[in-house]
Amino acid sequence: MRYLADAAALARKDLLLELRGRETLPSMLLFVIAMLVAFRFALTDEGAEAADGLLWVAIVFTALLGLGRAFVAEREQGLLDGLVLAPCDRSAIWLGKLLATLAFLVAAEVIALPAFALFFDSLLDGGTLLAVLLADIGICAVGTLLAAMAVAGRARELLLPLLFLPLAIPIVVGGVGATVAADPGRYLGFLALYDIIFAILAWGTFEYVVTE
Amino acid sequence: MLLGGGVALAFLWAPEDGDQGISQRIFYIHVPVALTAYACFGWGAWKALRHLWTREERYDLESYTAIHQGTIFGLLTLVTGSIWARASWGVWWTWGERQLVLFLILFLFYSAYFMLRYSVDEGPGRANLSAVYALFGVALIPVSFLAIRLAEGFIHPTVFTRDGPQMTGTMFTAFLVCLAGVLALAAALYTNELTGKRLDGRLRELRELLS
Phi-psi region of A44 (alpha: psi -120 to 50; beta: other; left: phi over 0): beta
Does residue A139 carry a pLDDT above 90?
yes
Q: DSSP code of A44?
A: -
CB contact, 8 Å: A163 with chain B? yes
Contacts of A169 in chain B (CB under 8 A): 105, 144, 147
Q: What is the pLDDT of residues A58-93, one digit of tens each?
A: 999 999 998 988 888 777 777 777 778 877 788 888
Contacts of A167 in chain B (CB under 8 A): 109, 136, 140
Long-range CB contacts (within 8 A, 24+) of B119-123: B119/A153, B119/A154, B119/A155, B119/A156, B119/A159, B120/A152, B120/A153, B120/A154, B121/A154, B123/A212
Segment among A14-18, A172-176, A187-191, B177-181 with least mean pLDDT? B177-181
**What are the boundaries of each domain within chain B?**
26-158+169-210
Q: Of B108, B112, B150, which is closest to A173 when you measure between CB atoms?
A: B150
pLDDT for position B87: 75
Does residue A142 carry a pLDDT above 90?
yes
Contacts of A153 in chain B (CB under 8 A): 116, 119-120
**DSSP letter for each residue of B123-182:** SHHHHHHHHHHHHHHHHHHHHHHHHHHHHHHHH-PPP--S-SSPPPHHHHHHHHHHHHHH
Dist. CA B115–CA B171, nearest whole Å: 41
Q: What are phi and psi of A122, to 5 degrees?
A: -125, 150
Dist. CA B51–CA B61, nearest whole Å: 10
What's the mean pLDDT when you consider all of chain A?
Answer: 86
Q: What is the ipTM of this complex?
A: 0.84
Dist. CA B154–CA A114, nearest whole Å: 25
pLDDT for position B94: 73
B129:A152 CB<8 A = yes
B50: enclosing H helix or E strand: helix B27-54
- Output the CA–CA distances (angstroms, integers) from residue A136 to A29, A80, A83, A98, B57, in the order listed: 15, 24, 25, 10, 36
Exposure on the CB side of residue A132, measured as CA atoms within 13 A:
24
Dist. CA A164–CA A157, nearest whole Å: 12
Interface test with B, best of A90, A151, A169 (most B CBs within 10 A): A169
Q: What is the pLDDT of residues B151-177, one digit of tens each?
A: 876 665 444 445 444 556 666 777 777
Does residue B3 carry a pLDDT above 70?
no
Task: Report the greatest alpha carbon distance in chain A.
Answer: 58
Dist. CA A78–CA A82, nearest whole Å: 8
Q: What is the pLDDT of residues A4-52, one digit of tens each?
A: 888 888 888 888 888 888 888 888 999 999 998 888 888 877 666 678 8
pTM listed for this prediction:
0.83
Does residue B21 carry a pLDDT above 60?
no
pLDDT for position B55: 83
